[in-house]
């Protein structure tokens, strides 16, 4: 559990987040509990500084997942997209991979992407094109 959940002001954080999740994000009320359960950090995130910019970024790219809402566009999402493009994937190929497997944007470049790509290519002797077909 995120320690910031224990020290937050319930009037200052969760209420605006719930309103945001119900209205702009359009999570149906019955699914709200599941969404917050999957990503409790939502409850202590700033709507104006974190959630709204992330939602705008994700909507422009037609990606939807609550876990990505708490990701920094500049520090987390764009570097991962840039990493995939840097491997030689086109914008369209990168978009397609992420749309099929949005969880890719939750992975660490250093601790997940890079070691797995190196293993795929160097140890297994496989081709990067396989990632396009099966990004998971």
Distance between CA atoms of 121 and 100, rounded to whole angstroms?
Answer: 22
The string of DSSP letters for 53-97 reads: HHHHHHHHTT---HHHHTS-IIIIIHHHHHHHHHTT--HHHHHHH
CA distance 97 to 32: 27
Range of the domain at 66: 1-70
Q: State yes or no: pLDDT of 22 exceeds 70.
A: yes
In the prediction, which pLDDT does 64 show? 55
66 and 76 in a common domain:
no
- Examine the domain organization and report whether 2 and 64 are in the same domain: yes
Residues 12 and 41 in one domain: yes
Among 55, 70, 85, the domain boundary falls at 70
pLDDT digits (tens, 9 = 90+) for 41-91: 788 788 888 888 888 777 776 655 565 666 667 777 788 888 888 988 888
Are residues 122 and 76 both part of a single domain?
Answer: yes
The region, left, alpha or beta by phi > 0 then psi within -120 to 50, assigned to residue 88 is left
Query: Same domain, yes or no, for 102 and 113?
Result: yes
pTM for this structure? 0.52
pLDDT band at 7 (very low <50, low <70, confident <90, very high): low
């Amino acid at each position: 559990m995120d320690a910031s959940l224990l020290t937050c002001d319930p009037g200052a954080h969760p209420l605006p987040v719930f309103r945001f999740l119900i209205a702009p994000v359009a999570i149906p009320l019955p699914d709200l509990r599941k969404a917050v359960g999957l990503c409790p950090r939502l409850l202590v995130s700033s709507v104006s500084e974190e959630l709204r910019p992330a939602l705008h970024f994700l909507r422009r790219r037609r990606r939807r997942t609550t876990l990505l809402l708490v990701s920094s566009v500049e520090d987390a999402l764009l570097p991962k997209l840039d990493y995939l493009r840097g491997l030689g994937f086109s914008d369209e190929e990168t978009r397609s991979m992420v749309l099929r497997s949005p969880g890719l944007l939750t992975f660490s470049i250093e601790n997940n992407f890079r070691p797995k790509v190196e293993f795929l290519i160097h140890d297994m002797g496989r081709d990067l094109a396989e990632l396009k077909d099966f990004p998971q």
